[in-house]
């Protein structure tokens, strides 16, 4: 481009008022990230698209910068006052530094609007303003000629709604282009379509979504469709704009440096160029006879035709014919481009690489593109409940869904349609908060029990004070965490960039439901669910010393060598002590209430009620007595007595065990035979058999109550027989019978309560003393390990509850599954993709313990009594019960056993195979024993579940199998692959996932952050299911895979998030010093070279 130097010089010297903006800036040129020279101060004047650089205000212009084919990068931090101009031509970037942040922002806006594209944006904005003014004038004129009653109706615009099936998307359509014109004849186009919506009420253009990129053809047919959910405000008057772009620079097609408002069109930058656009009304598509529109694509000025675009209305229950010949013929000519985007810290839709050993592709997530989507249609099978019945309970669990629509060809030349849905879950925060609340209550009870131990010797008393101080400190930390979580607002999941935050350490990372709904022409509709979540691990605490698996083993070994400081109790004994305390807290109030009911029945002289009350009292009391039939309580009481000041132990003359004592008690049922015992003596001799007598008194008291009730009922029956002969005498006796029953039972019931209270006091103190030893032997490591285990378990439990609820909703009409659920239990299979190298080995250890701890979780399904359908969590650290609430109509579909409150068991299993470059290092220079041991241990658990399943379930409960031996063969194959110990043996994951699906289990896929490797695994699994179960055309497997993995389909072309910080990045590709892993597998020499080069590059970067 030529310029007249004299004219430019004269323009630069014009008065200040003639310029768009002027002022002082420090300026220099950049090559990469390095400044060629130090920034120098210049007087800058901006006129149109010309930026004049002058040494001072009165001097001549030393340089003129033409602001075309360039863009502005503005740094968003509060302290940075610099901006960068990048040029498409490749010349060095221009660094501009202002004096203040407001000045910097003003220059960024001025420079961004200085080029011709900025002028076009202004023109479009002015056109929209003119349209709004015209509409307001037309509305005012109409009001002048309308009656007042009709004027009121014009307050809000009336639009025509689209008539669709309830809970189905309002609008879905597919796209294809024909005869696209390239800038040059020889150029092969790589095209995609960006879909924008013009809302009739606002007249603002909003970017909605985009298709995938089809490479190397002028007649692209796009497999990704467009779907508008039921809640989206779209009407027949709504206009949809389709813009076709040609991607030139494939490596930067999705990376941009500035964020534009939704109403602005994106600029054509280095990665792509504008081809043409067209607009249509939704009503024209819906009302067209053939449900299809053929539109002409024109350039921005509306003059030149660049091709046509076909818009086909899609209905999930209908199929297209006649296009497969065209697609199959052109399949070899059309290449498909899968973008390589940067990570998105919000971890939305899935994107990944198709190679087994790569993780550099990420999820295609742009949270701005998310729209509310129907959950009901996805959550039930075709025979399932209606959407109205299912919607409230699911909306309580799932939130902010994203839906995508695809159409893929089948092997018999038909179309199948796939709706892919990803949703967050409110359980990500609900379950951890409920769990922390339980921890707080449990720890408060424990601290109080330690304080109630009474007087102890100085050594033990000091130990108790130290333990209570540490426990109070830990309790305060739990309370602070719960308070912080209560303040949380915003998204209902924790992004990967927040995994190191202390206040969110109980929250699972990126917990989402990934669902695929398949509608095939000749096969039954099917749903496939996978729960994706980051590996449950204590990221804030770090992995310097390993994970829970190693830390717990080391801690247990150290506890055995505590010496004289405290008494060692095994983990089994401490778990038993916690169980005894839990049984006490649960059974004592129940026995008291049943005893009161017995007295109430006696006062009312009701024989039937008396029998029922006695039956319940007997059952609960027997459970109570059985809970203390353990040597641990007896030995703990002795240990507690030795910890009292001035204790003397008296050996019994004749040793007797508790079992013999219990047998003798059955023959002693009179209250006069029961001898009340004092509390544990402090300064007197202690009889070791004293506990047996105290414990046996409860059984004796119960026998007395039973005998008295039998005697009363026998007398009552004899009086009834006498009354038949003399009715008047019988009436007189009945008047006094009620009082006699109550008076005779009352002393016995009081004795039972007193005996039970004495047992409770002694047992609580003894078990609290056991817990004191556990805590004292490992302070503060014991409490820190408990905290770490709580954190990991909280993350694992949130995912499990989500998976169970979703599985229950989708299988309510599957009687075989419901029978399996209450007869055998639910299989929960976790697919781990963590390496056994560096920090990820610690994560894997945490994950293994957290998933193993899920075995102590039981589920119970109850009928919801209100509109709150969130699950309720009860229990303690060794045993939790999750109560899942269902609406009345759904609850009635359950088997009687589940409706009666039967507890449902979980069988969690974990199979891990590292697949990234760190696993390559672990296999060549490290150790993979951890992975091998975990897989072997969980294989045994899976076999145990299979054996239980085959014993209790009929053979016809396996819907996917023709023969009974199929599962057995898969298990044997899995066993062989685990024993083979091959490197990166992904066959283990495929076999485990297949077995899980065949056994009606719940599938989880986990990696470090539930993004890279998780995305890769899920999308590959989905396409494999389409191929194996739904006859996906073999030539379209890779295209379908790339289509699901492409972030381009999300329409997020203008933002990119840094994988660790979540901040906006510039247009420079991320610098990674990792070369293709496939090369590293060739030879160990290449691996050494790779390590040396990476180290050299890192040193050069940070010097």
Alpha-carbon Rg for the chain in angstroms:
37
Q: What are phi and psi of 804, to 5 degrees?
A: -65, -45
Q: Which of 1005, 1003, 1043, 1006 is nearest to 1023 (CA)?
A: 1043
Helix (H, G, I), strand (E, B) or coil at 644: coil
**Whole-angstrom distance, CA of residue 843 vs CA of residue 853:** 15
- 613 in Cβ contact with 598 (< 8 Å): yes
Measured between alpha carbons, how far is residue 967 from residues 88, 298, 963, 999 in Å? 59, 58, 9, 9
CA 131 from chain center: how many Å? Answer: 46
Which residues, in sequence order, are CB contacts of 641 under 8 Å at separation 6+?
Answer: 647, 649, 680, 681, 686
Q: What share of the chain is helix, strand, coil (3-state, %, to 5)?
A: 45, 20, 35
Structure tokens at 565: 């400081």
Measured between alpha carbons, how far is residue 484 from residues 511, 524, 797, 1034 in Å? 20, 47, 20, 52
Q: Which of 341, 327, 207, 187 is nearest to 266 (CA)?
A: 207
- 390 in Cβ contact with 1044 (< 8 Å): no
H or E stretch including 15? none
Q: Which of 582, 671, 670, 678 is nearest to 627 (CA)?
A: 582
Which residues, in sequence order, are CB contacts of 458 under 8 Å at separation 6+?
Answer: none
Active site residue 177: no
Q: Which of 886, 1000, 810, 805 is nearest to 377 (CA)?
A: 810
Select which of 1007, 1023, 1043, 1063 is catalytic: 1007
Q: Which of 836, 847, 838 is nearest to 792 (CA)?
A: 847
Helix (H, G, I), strand (E, B) or coil at 208: strand
Structure tokens at 415: 């179309």
Measured between alpha carbons, how far is residue 738 from residues 7, 734, 860, 945 in Å? 118, 7, 41, 55
Structure tokens at 194: 């960006």
Q: What is the residue whose two structure tokens read 């060549």?
A: 924
Q: Which of 484, 477, 536, 558 is nearest to 783 (CA)?
A: 477
Quick one: DSSP state of residue 425? E
**Whole-angstrom distance, CA of residue 743 vs CA of residue 703:** 18
727-776 vs 427-451: helix axis angle to the nearest 10? 90
Per-residue b or e along 704-714, where b marks 16 or more CB atoms closer than 10 Å to that residue's CB: bbbebbeebee
Which residues have a catalytic role annotated?
1007
């Amino acid at each position: 481009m030529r310029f007249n130097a004299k004219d430019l010089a004269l323009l630069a010297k014009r008065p200040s008022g003639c310029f768009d903006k002027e002022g002082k800036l420090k300026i220099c040129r950049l090559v990469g990230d390095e400044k060629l020279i130090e920034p120098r101060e210049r007087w800058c004047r901006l006129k149109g698209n010309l930026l004049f650089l002058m040494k001072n205000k009165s001097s001549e212009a030393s340089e003129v910068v033409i602001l075309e084919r360039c863009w502005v990068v503005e740094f968003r931090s509060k302290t940075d006052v610099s901006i960068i101009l990048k040029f498409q031509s490749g010349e060095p970037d221009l660094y501009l530094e202002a004096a203040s942040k407001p000045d910097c922002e003003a220059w960024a806006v001025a420079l961004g609007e200085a080029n011709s594209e900025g002028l076009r944006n202004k023109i479009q904005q002015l056109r929209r303003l003119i349209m709004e003014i015209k509409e307001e004038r037309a509305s005012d004129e109409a009001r002048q000629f309308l009656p007042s009653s009709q004027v009121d109706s014009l307050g809000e615009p009336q639009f025509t709604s689209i008539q669709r099936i309830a809970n189905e998307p309002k609008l879905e359509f597919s796209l294809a282009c024909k005869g696209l014109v390239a800038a040059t004849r020889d150029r092969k186009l790589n095209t995609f379509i960006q879909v924008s919506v013009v809302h009739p009420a606002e007249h603002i253009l909003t970017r909605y979504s985009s298709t995938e990129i089809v490479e190397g053809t002028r007649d692209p047919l796009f497999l990704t469709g467009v779907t508008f959910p039921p809640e989206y405000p779209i009407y027949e008057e709504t206009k949809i704009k389709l813009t076709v772009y040609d991607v030139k620079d494939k490596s930067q097609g999705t990376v941009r440096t500035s964020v534009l408002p939704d109403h602005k069109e994106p600029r054509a930058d280095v990665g792509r160029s504008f081809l043409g656009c067209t607009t249509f009304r939704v009503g024209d598509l819906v009302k067209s006879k053939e449900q299809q529109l053929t539109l002409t694509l024109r350039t921005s000025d509306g003059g030149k035709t660049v091709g046509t675009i076909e818009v086909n209305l899609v209905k999930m229950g209908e199929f297209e014919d006649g296009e497969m010949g065209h697609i199959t013929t052109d399949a070899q000519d059309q290449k498909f481009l899968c973008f390589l985007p940067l990570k998105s810290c919000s971890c939305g839709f899935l994107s990944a690489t198709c190679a087994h050993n790569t993780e550099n592709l990420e999820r295609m997530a742009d949270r701005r593109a998310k729209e509310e989507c129907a959950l009901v249609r996805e959550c039930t099978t075709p025979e399932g409940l209606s959407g109205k019945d299912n919607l409230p309970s699911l909306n309580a669990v799932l939130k902010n869904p994203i839906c995508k629509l695809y159409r893929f060809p089948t092997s018999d030349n038909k179309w199948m349609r796939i709706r892919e849905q990803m949703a967050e879950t409110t359980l990500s925060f609900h379950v951890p908060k409920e769990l922390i609340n339980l921890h707080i209550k449990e720890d408060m009870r424990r601290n109080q029990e330690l304080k109630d131990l009474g007087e102890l010797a100085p050594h033990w008393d000091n130990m108790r004070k130290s333990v209570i101080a540490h426990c109070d400190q830990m309790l305060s930390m739990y309370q602070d965490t719960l308070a912080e979580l209560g303040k949380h607002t915003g998204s209902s999941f924790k992004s990967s960039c927040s995994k190191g935050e202390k206040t969110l350490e109980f929250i699972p990372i990126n917990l989402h439901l990934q669902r695929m709904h398949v509608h095939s022409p000749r096969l039954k509709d099917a749903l496939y669910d996978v729960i994706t979540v980051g590996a449950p691990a204590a990221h804030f605490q770090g992995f310097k010393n390993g994970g829970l698996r190693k830390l717990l083993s080391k801690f247990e070994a150290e506890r055995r060598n505590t010496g004289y400081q405290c008494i060692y109790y095994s983990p089994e004994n401490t778990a038993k002590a916690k169980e005894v305390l839990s049984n006490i807290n649960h059974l004592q109030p129940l026995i008291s209430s049943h005893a009161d009911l017995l007295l109430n029945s006696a006062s009312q002289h009701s024989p039937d009620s008396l029998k029922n009350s006695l039956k319940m009292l007997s059952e609960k009391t027997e459970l109570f007595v059985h809970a203390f039939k353990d040597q641990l309580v007896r030995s703990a009481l002795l240990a507690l007595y030795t910890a009292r000041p001035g204790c003397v132990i008296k050996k019994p003359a004749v040793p007797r065990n508790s079992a013999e004592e219990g047998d003798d008690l059955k023959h002693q049922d009179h209250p006069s035979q029961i001898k009340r015992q004092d509390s544990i003596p402090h300064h007197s001799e202690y009889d070791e058999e004293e506990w047996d007598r105290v414990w046996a008194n409860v059984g004796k008291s119960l026998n007395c109550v039973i005998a008295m009730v039998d005697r009363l009922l026998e007398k009552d029956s004899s009086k009834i027989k006498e009354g038949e002969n003399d009715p008047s005498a019988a009436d007189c006796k009945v008047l006094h019978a009620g009082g006699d029953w109550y008076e005779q039972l009352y002393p016995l019931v009081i004795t039972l309560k007193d005996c039970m209270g004495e047992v409770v006091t002694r047992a609580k103190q003894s078990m609290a003393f056991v817990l004191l030893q556990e805590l004292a032997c490992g302070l503060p490591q014991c409490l820190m390990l408990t905290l770490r285990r709580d954190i990991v378990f909280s993350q694992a439990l949130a995912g499990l509850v989500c998976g169970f609820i979703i599985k229950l909703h989708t299988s309510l009409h599957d009687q075989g599954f419901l029978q399996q659920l209450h007869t055998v239990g639910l299989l929960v299979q976790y697919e781990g993709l963590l390496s056994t190298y560096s920090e990820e080995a610690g994560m894997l250890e945490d994950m293994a313990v957290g998933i193993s701890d899920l075995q102590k979780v039981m589920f119970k399904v109850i009928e919801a009594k209100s509109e709150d359908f969130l699950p309720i969590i009860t229990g303690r650290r060794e045993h939790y019960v999750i109560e899942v609430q269902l609406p009345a109509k759904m609850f009635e579909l359950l088997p009687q056993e589940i409706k009666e409150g039967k507890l449902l068991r979980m069988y969690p299993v974990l199979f891990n195979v590292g697949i990234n470059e760190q696993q390559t290092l672990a296999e060549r220079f490290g150790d993979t024993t951890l992975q091998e041991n975990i897989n072997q241990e969980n294989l045994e658990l899976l076999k145990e579940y299979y054996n239980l399943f085959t014993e209790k379930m009929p053979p016809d409960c396996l819907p996917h199998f023709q023969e009974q031996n199929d599962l057995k063969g898969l298990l044997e194959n899995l066993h062989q692959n685990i024993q083979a110990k091959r490197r990166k043996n992904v066959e283990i994951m495929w076999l485990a996932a297949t077995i899980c699906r065949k056994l009606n289990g719940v599938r989880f896929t986990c990696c470090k952050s539930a993004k890279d490797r998780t995305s890769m695994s899920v999308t590959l699994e989905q396409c494999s299911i389409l191929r194996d179960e739904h006859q996906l055309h073999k030539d379209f497997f890779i295209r379908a895979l790339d289509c699901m993995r492409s972030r381009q389909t999300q329409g997020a072309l203008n933002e990119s998030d840094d994988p660790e910080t979540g901040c906006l990045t510039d247009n420079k590709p991320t610098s990674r010093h990792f070369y293709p892993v496939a090369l590293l597998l060739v030879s160990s020499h290449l691996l050494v070279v790779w390590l040396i080069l990476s180290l050299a590059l890192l040193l050069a970067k940070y010097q």
